[in-house]
Copies of this chain bind each other. A is one copy, B any other.
Amino acid sequence: MLLTSSEGKYLKAIYTLSAQGKEAVTTNAIAAQIGTKAASVSDMLGKLAEKELISYKKYYGVTLTEKGHKTALNILRRHRLWEVFLVDKLRFHWEDIPEIAAELELLDHPMLIRKLDEYLGYPKFDPYGDPIPDEFGDIQTKARVPLQDMPLEMTGKIAAVKDNSAAFLRYLDKMGIYIGARMAVLEKVEFDGSLELMIDNQRKVFVSREVAANILVQPL
């Protein structure tokens, strides 16, 4: 089963969107996600359904089939492995990598990916803390709690961010918040939902409710 790179783009978009809400993914949502028009999406959905990668009921959105799901996970695996490469080896800053990884992920060479994986030391999470599926599409999940829901005093590790935008990531950098950092919630401010954190047992940091909503913590 050969995929065009465009088909891959659609599968990834559908995967991402259905990971968010549980419902069938709508045409417009896909169009917005990949920056194209709804009409083009309808076109492509027909082709993907033809190949049995999605199940598609006209006017009622799409869901991935088993086959489509596997394929999407494989693309995601490639994407996230390249992201690790870019950050760990080439020393890219994490705000710059999604664009490049989006192109690298299109290369479908199983041997290349297997060797890359080995070379990187079989990483389980990408630089944003998102899990990297293995060859079989299995994902290793860790228990994760939104930062807002962490009880006071409980320690944890920053596990992932929900928002990968450059602006947000730059902000986190400036605050010294990074994936893997130790942290604890020192105080919750009632009236605006902001939090005071202790990072690495060293630095105290204030974050707003909006920021906290985009950070996931792995309790320790």
User: Hey, which bits of chain A sit against chain B, CB under 8 A?
Assistant: 86, 89-92, 96, 100, 103-104, 107, 109, 111-112, 115-116, 119
Contact = CB atoms under 8 A, between A and B. Distances in A.
A98 B111 CA distance: 14
Nearest to A117: B90
Nearest to A108: B103
Contact of A115 (B90, B109, B119): B90
Given A100-B112, A112-B100, A90 B119 contact: yes
A90 B112 contact: yes
A135 to B, nearest CB: 16
A90 B107 CA distance: 16
Grouping DSSP codes into helix (H, G, I), strand (E, B) and loop, the A interface class, with mixed when no group exceeds half, is helix
A91 B116 CA distance: 10
A196 to B, nearest CB: 37
Contact of A107 (B103, B109, B119): B103
B90 A100 contact: no
A89 B112 CA distance: 11
Contacts of A111: 92, 96
Contacts of A86: 112
A115 B92 contact: yes
A119 B89 CA distance: 7
A100 B109 contact: yes
A103 B107 CA distance: 7
Top 10 closest A-B pairs, CB basis? Answer: A90-B115, A103-B107, A90-B119, A100-B112, A100-B109, A89-B119, A90-B116, A91-B115, A92-B115, A104-B107
